[in-house]
Each structure stands twice: as C-alpha cells, then as structure tokens.
Structure 1
Amino acid sequence: MTAESIGRPGIVYQAIGIATLLALFAASLVVGVSDLAIGSLGSDPEALRLIMISRLPRTLAALLAGSALAIAGLVMQTLARNRFVEPSTAGTAQSAALGILIVTLVWPNASLGWKALGAAATALAGTSIFLMFAHRLPPTQPFLVPLFGLVYGGIIGSAATFAAWHLDLLQYLEVWITGEFSGVLRGRYELLWVAGALVALAWWTADRLTILSLGKDVSIGLGLNYAGMLRLGLVIVSAITALTVVVVGTIPFVGLVVPNIVSRFAGENLRQTLPWVAGGGAALVLACDTIGRLLRFPYEVPVGTILGVVGAILFLMLLLGRNSND
C-alpha cells in the first residue's frame, strides 16, 4: 500500500463509507417498538407521522451528535497536541453539566437555549484550565495529559454530583451525564444543527488547525495568529460539547477513538481527515444507538452505556496496536 493510498482513501473506500452510513441511517429509522415499514409511508399516515415526529429527529440527532463530538475530539487533540484526550475525558463535558446545573438553580424555567449558553460558558472555562495545565506537562510523557484529564474531570464531576445531591437534583444531573436519544422528538433536537454548523467551521479552518498542531513557535513562525486560533478551537470544542450535553447527555469515547482510527489510514492533514472523522463519528453513534434499542427489546439501553463498552474496547485495541508497532 503506497503512502498516497493511505493519505487519500480511494473512491472505493468512500463509496463503502457512504453506503455504510446510509444503511445505518435507514436502520435507525426502522428499528423501534412500533412496527414500521418504509414502503408503507405513502399509504399509512400514522407511519409517516411516527417518522416525522420521532424516528427522523432521533436519527438526525444521533448523526449530528456523533459527527460533532468526533470533530470536537479531533480539535481538542489538536489544541492539546495529544492523541489521548477528548471532551468527556478532559473535564469539558463535566464542566458543561455543571453549567446546566447552575442555570437550573438560578433559572429553573430556562429554555434549552439558555441552558446551552450557560453550559458553553462553563465548558469554555473548564477546557481553558485543562489546556493551561496540559501545556505545562512534559511532552515526553504523553500519557500524563489524559491521566490529568481524568482526574480533573473526576473532580468537576464529583463537585457537580455533590451539589446536585445536596439540592435534590440528582435525577436531573443523571439525564445530562448519561447520553441517550429516547427523549428526542421534533422540537427538542434542533440545537444540534448549531453543532453541525460548528463542524463546518472546523472544516473551513482545517488548514490553520493543522498548522496549530505544530506548536506555538512553529505556528507563529508560519504567520498564524496562534492565540486567535487557540480561542476559536476552544469555542468549537466547548460549544459542541455543551450542545450535545444539553440535548442528549454525555456520550463518551466518540471523540477519542474515531480520530485515532481515521488517522491510521488517512494521515494527519485535517483538511483530508475531517470528513472521515465526521462520518465515522456519525456511524459509530448510529450503530451503538441501534444496538441499544435491540439489545433488550422492547426496552432500551442508553447509547452512552453502549459506547462506554464499545469505546473502551476500541481504545484498548488502538493502544495495543500502537505498542506492537513501536
């Protein structure tokens, strides 16, 4: 296999990827407690109503959340210059949940938009603190960064849990911590289109993000506004994480395993890898959500639980594969 074929996946691989994503999209529309045949949409108004109110919004939410979280993980890895971090393991998701809790206490009847704004503010603050300490850790010890992120996120999560327990809001906090799509209906997922717009923004700035990954001195030497791009990357990661936590809860491992898998065959150029990362994240979340609906049918297992297992297995495989190649 040549370097060109690795860096530029061929048309065959693109066709396979698109076909897989479309198949998972269709499966997500069909799978559910109520029997539904795609061919009956034209003759059965109830089937069409079910699709438009529940199945299609849920499928679109999974697609948008998966692609956005994968891109957020890729951007965070670029900012931290470390392949082993993502929003759910670096305190970003925990900070977002804490922000929603604060907004709920101050303004109990706040809309999803205001909760998302508060979550984005705390996620931005939490991620900034994480990066400030991560950049001070020795670059020769790459595993110290994710280890610090796990401890840092655990502290923030524990503080949020303690506050929720003290204020009798543990059930609300559980909704934001455990990612699931069972409550997604038309009118309750549309904020995720903003996350989709942030994915487009990340693709537009992909070349500058690639330069940013080379480090501060090299980036400035190449004429990049390092501080400005760092702030933009922080906003992208924080806003995407906040929006997904508000709408569907915390979904782990997507931003960790997908960028690492894609980088194995598509290289490190963000302009080339971003579409693959977005598609891979969407496919992974759609697949795990469908599995969660089938595993204990007619009951559901939250997608966050399924991804906790699947993501951990994939991550261990990546680590073992990396060590075997060293």
Structure 2
Amino acid sequence: MRMAWLLLFLLLCVASLAVGASELAWAQVFNWHGDTWLILGASRLPRLAALILVGVGLAVCGVILQQVVRNRFVEPATTGGLDAARLGILLSLGVAPAADAPLRMLFALALCFAASLLFVAIIRRIRARNAVLVPVIGLMYGGVLSALAEFYAYRFNLLQSMQGWLMGDFSKVVQGRYEILYLILPIVLLTYLYAQRFTVLGMGEGMATSLGLNYTANVTLGLLLVAVTVSASVIAVGAIPFVGLVVPNLVALHYGDNLRRTLPLVALGGASLLLVCDLLGRLLIYPFEVPIGLTAGGLGGLMFLGLVVWRQR
C-alpha cells in the first residue's frame, strides 16, 4: 500500500512538470536543449519543490496542532494561524515598507506563535466541548484576526498588498523567490525526532506529565514549529487551507495515531494532495490558472464536511 502511494506521488510529480502554459518537448529534455532546461530549471522544478515543501509542511502542522489541542478538526486555517501570519506581514509592511522576506517572516512568525498560544489558552478554559466546537471557535477567532488585518490594510492603504496573501498561488514561484520554504525541511525532521513526545501530548496533560514529559515545553515547541512553517508558507505562496486537516485524519483512520509510524505517510499525503489541487487549477481553464487557494479550499472543504459528518455518525 505504501509503495502504491509513493508511485502515485511520483506520477503526480511528473504530471506537474509536464503541465504548463508553454509546451514542453520531452525529446529536447533528453537532448539537453537549452530553452527546455531553462523552463524546467527556472519555473517547473522550483514550482514542484515549493508544492512538495508546502504540502509536507502544512500536513505536519495539522498533526502537531491536533495533538496539542487534542482535536481532529484543527489546523492552521481553523485555529487562526493563517490569519495571524497575514496580519504579521501587513504589520511589517506598515512598520518597514522596504522589509525583505526574512524580516516579514519574523513578523508573521511572532504573530502566528502568539495567536496559537492564545488559542490554546482559550480552548483549555472551555471544559465542556465536543469535536466540532473547537474548530468553530477557531474559525471565529480567525475571523477576528482577519478583520483586524483588513482594518489595518484599509487604514494604511495596504489593501492591494494584502491580496497577495489572501489566497495561495504558485504561479509566481520561480528560481530565487521560493527558497525560504526550505526552512520546512528541518521543521519536518525535528517533528519526526519528537514524534513520540507529540503522540504522548495527544493523551492529555495529566497522562503526559505522569509519563515524565514536560508538557508546557513540548506544547511551546510544537506551536513554534507550526508558526515557522505557516509564516514561511504564507510569505512564499500565500494562505492554503484544509491540507493540514484532511490528510492527518485520513492517515489516522487507516494507520492509527503513532506519529513515528504515520508521519512519513502524512507528509507524502500532504504533498500529493497539494499536487492534485495544483493540477486541477492549471487544467480547469487552461492555459490560464485558478489559484490553488480556491481548489484546495473547495476540495479540502468538501472532504472536511465529509469528515465532520462521518465523525458525528
């Protein structure tokens, strides 16, 4: 089964390289034709790398948040993380208009981390809660952060700049404009090394403490890893919802909750789902392109609704 998923992922990678506004002659690829390799090296390969990195990162973020909050229906889009990152970017544009990507990312990281800590604190104060209540609170919380971002953008005439981070879009990914996403690689590696600890976090504070785990320190580490991944993704390609929600749930349904065993499958599933959404966006109105934020939101939203209905039944 795992080999089948790996084969599907490789096929999606080849399809992603093959699809584009300009025709790619594969015979010229093997003949080392200059123009063909320019298209691959400057656009297609960076886009493929960005898709894989963002898909892996968002799926892993979903796993971490679900273990920390102990709820299957949370991810950066349903905990206010994406909205906080956008607000941080807008603040950086207002404070330092000439700021480069690393500085904007620091603003986004700080706001995302602070917003995640506040969300966890709010959820812990709600004693009687069901599975659906937590993401509903997160969506309302994200709505407040989004309203603050829009007000700030309107106040300082940044509405046009804000549009670039409202919806995920890989069409502008070229060589030299996506490399910040490689920060996701050490995040994923660190998550795998701490997978056993995050699994224990999902058992609750009492159980984690009784097993000798520093609950507060590990929750803080998990939220920091999420903040770095989300801020890098939003800076590079914008906000993409539901990847971190759908993929971990589907993997957990079939393979359980042992993160040391399932995390590679979650990463592979996140990259594959994002590749599918990207291919849909590139083919629906070919040779034009639908932003991946729309396709991921539509497909992920339908899958999220199906998961909610299935859980309630």
Equivalent residue, structure 1, for 2:17: 29
> What whole-Å deviation, never above 9, does each CA across 1:142-175 have from its counterpart, x for those lacking one?
2221111010000000110111122221121111
The answer to whether the 8 Å contact 2:209/2:215 transfers is: yes
1:225 CA displacement: 1.3
The letter for the 2-side match of 1:22 is L
1:305-324 Cα distance to aligned partner (Å, 9 max, x none): 00111001111222222333
Are positions 1:283 and 2:283 aligned together?
no
Helix, strand or coil at the partner of 2:168? coil
1:42 CA displacement: 3.2
Mapped contact 2:80–2:139 kept (Cα < 8 A): yes
Extract unaligned runs of 5+ from structure 1: 1-12
Q: Which residue of 2 aligns with 1:177?
A: 166
Paired residues of 1:288 and 1:306 also in contact (CA < 8 A): yes
Superposed CA RMSD in Å reads: 1.0
Which amino acid in 1 is paired with 2:25? A
- Which amino acid counterpart does residue 311 of structure 1 have in structure 2? G
| Paired residue type of 1:24 | L
Q: Which sits farther off after the overlay, 31-40 or 242-251?
A: 31-40
How far apart in 2 are the matches of 1:191 and 1:156? Answer: 25
Distance in 1 (alpha carbons) for counterparts of 2:276 and 2:128: 36
- TM-score normalised by length of structure 1: 0.94
Query: Which residue of 2 is the match for residue 93 of structure 1?
Result: 82
Instruction: Report SS of the residue matched to 1:41.
Output: helix
- Residues 82 and 145 in structure 1, CA contact (< 8 A), matched pair in contact too: yes
The counterpart of 1:164, out of the listed 153, 169, 178, is 153
2-structure distance, mates of 1:94, 1:156: 6
Cα contact 1:137–1:145 (8 A) shared by 2: no
Decide which moves more: 315-324 or 40-49: 315-324
Does 1:113 pair with 2:102? Answer: yes
| One of 58, 66, 70 as aligned partner of 1:69 | 58
Give the alignment's TM-score, normalised by structure 2.
0.97
The equivalent position to 1:297 in structure 2, one of 281, 286, 289, is 286
The answer as to whether partners of 1:137 and 1:144 remain within 8 angstroms in 2 is no
1:216 aligns with 2:199: no
Once the two structures are superposed, residues 204-257 of structure 1 have per-residue CA deviations (whole angstroms, 9 ceiling, x without a partner) of 100011111111111111011111101110101111111100000000000111
Q: Give CA deviations for 1:268-297 in whole Å, capped at 9, x if unaligned.
A: 111111111111000000111111011001
Aligned to 1:257: 246
Question: Any idea what the Cα deviations from partners look like across 1:170-196, whole Å, max 9, x if unmatched?
Answer: 121111110010010111111111012
CA distance in structure 2 between the aligned counterparts of 1:245 and 1:38, rounded to whole angstroms = 33
Q: 1:130 & 1:322 partners in 2: Cα distance? A: 23
Does the Cα contact within 8 Å between 2:132 and 2:308 map onto a contact in 1?
no
Distance 2:129 2:114 in 1: 27
Q: Within 1, Cα distance between the matches of 2:228 and 2:259?
A: 20
Distance in 2 (CA, whole Å) between partners of 1:77 and 1:182 is: 30
What is the CA distance between 1:40 and its match in structure 2? 1.7
Matches of 1:38 and 1:129, distance apart in 2 = 51
- What corresponds to 1:138 in structure 2? 127
Letter in 2 for 1:50: I
